[in-house]
Amino acid sequence: MMAARRQFLMLGGGVFATLGFPQLLPAAPVETVEMKGTARGESVWFAPMGLAIAAGTTVRFVNHDPGNSHTATAYHPALFDRARRIPAAARPWDSDFLLPDESFSVTFEAPGVHDFYCLPHEAAGMVGRIVVGQPGDPGWEGAAPDGDDLDPEVRAAFPPVEAILARGRILRGDMP
Ligand SMILES: [Cu+2]
């Protein structure tokens, strides 16, 4: 009688534990890219500005600049008629304007180099690069060739793909 009751309690505890801790289930990976700026807005940037992720990772762009609105916008002809700088297999994406503390998430699937910019601050060098997977992955598409679409200062602001792959993430202070 006692044994049977103990067995019942243990079983009950097991069911409770399973239902009570859903966070123990494996979650899809999530990374954060912050939009930042100095108090008077002389300088604005993405942090990190270079990020290496595995396919299937969701990146959350969050505006942590109290003084400015920002966007995270993929370079793509469907968005403001820009030359494509994301893999052909990737869907174009655009956060639209994010007010301070607002955020926007994108899940990256296509292997390769995904370049993006902030609509009002591209000319100030507010651009970023996300590298999904690595060269040799099926369908990998490397960095887009530098066309006339970009000012030389903007081209120079993209962290090199090799540096992103080597370090995982590149912050503004890591750039030469
Ligand atoms: Cu901006």
Residue 115 in any domain: the answer is yes
Residue 160 C-alpha to ligand 1 middle, in angstroms? 21
Number of domains in the chain: 1
Residue 2 in any domain: the answer is no
Residue 11 in any domain: the answer is no
Residue 86 in any domain: the answer is yes
Residue 103 C-alpha to ligand 1 middle, in angstroms? 13
Name the H helices within the chain: 2-20, 152-157, 161-167
Residue 171 C-alpha to ligand 1 middle, in angstroms? 16
For residue 87, the enclosing domain spans 27-174
Distance CA 91, CA 93 (A): 6
Q: Would the pLDDT of 27 be above 70? A: yes
Distance CA 50, CA 46 (A): 9
Residue 15 in any domain: the answer is no
Ligand 1 ion: Cβ-proximal residues, 5 Å cutoff: 44, 70, 118, 121, 126
pLDDT digits (tens, 9 = 90+) for 29-61: 899 999 999 988 889 999 999 999 999 999 999
Percent over 90 (pLDDT), the chain: 76
Looking at residue 14, its pLDDT comes to 47
Looking at residue 23, its pLDDT comes to 58
We report the CATH number of the domain holding residue 169 as 2.60.40.420
Residue 63 in any domain: the answer is yes
Looking at residue 148, its pLDDT comes to 82
Residue 1 in any domain: the answer is no
Residue 144 in any domain: the answer is yes
